[in-house]
Amino acid sequence: MLPKLPPALLENLPVVHDPWFYAAALPAAFLIGLSKSGFASGFGALATPLLALTVPVPQAAAILLPVLLVADGFGLRHLWRQCDFALLRLLLPPALAGIVAGALLFGVFSSAAVAGVTGALTLAFLAQRLLFPPRPDRPGMPRWVGRLCALASGFTSFVAHAGSPPVNAYVLPLGLAPSVFAGTMSVFFAVLNASKWLPYALIGTIDLRNMLTSALLLPLPPLGVMAGVWLTKRIRPVWFYRIAYTGMGLTGCKLLWEGLR
């Protein structure tokens, strides 16, 4: 028989030990993987608010960063060939500027305030879509709106890993094929999340305890990505977008609640 580790040694491992943390973190990690596949896009923004129920927001964001990168890697493996590179050229520069703004203003705006504003804008977008549904004779949103949404996406992504609602407000109405939407968003957020490492390290949230805790969650994102890719290939486009809008609605309500409370 293998010797049992002394309880004192287990207690001294530099990880989060609170069982309520893992009750929130395990489904959050799976949701991140599911959203990275393009299926249920928007649900991944719920991950940081879920963890923030048990740990401070900066710690939650740091723990989730490696989880996001693993999910990005698996998503890219399956989806990058379907990416719309012209759309990425429009969105990525302002989104990276938003990352820089988030790093410079980190601590100036509380995460609750950012979450509340993001949630309110998300719900306003959904209300606009319900009241004024798109028609073939109605022009789409101008490109400057896309750049503004991407800028907001970079900022909210850095502060609370909640970048999907702002950019989805521009990309979802384009009506891309589900696989193209999934591939484009996979590359978009892989670039944004990779760019966060240095700023997060400089503000002191990358430490041994957070990274070891994150390592315990890493098996979940690949399972979420594989489940989402399987579902994306088998679901009708109309239902794909209904689920995506539902995800945005739930995320908007959750983020708004985080800001108001």
Residue 7 included in any domain: no
98: domain range?
Answer: 19-260
CA distance 188 to 166: 13
pLDDT value at position 191? 93
Is the pTM higher than 0.75? no
Task: State the Rg of the chain over Cα.
Answer: 18
Total number of domains in the chain: 1
pLDDT value at position 90? 96
pLDDT value at position 87? 94
pLDDT value at position 113? 74
CA distance 182 to 121: 22
pLDDT value at position 100? 93
- What b-and-e string marks burial along 195-209, b requiring 16 or more CB atoms within 10 Å of the CB? bbeebbeeeebbeee
User: What SS3 class is residue 109?
Assistant: strand
pLDDT averaged per 10 residues in sequence order, the chain, 261 residues: 46 73 87 72 67 76 87 78 90 96 79 71 70 54 89 86 81 82 86 90 83 89 82 70 71 77 74
pLDDT value at position 9? 45
Considering Cα of 32, then 237, then 84, then 94, what sign does the dihedral take? negative
CA distance 128 to 191: 30
Residue 14 included in any domain: no
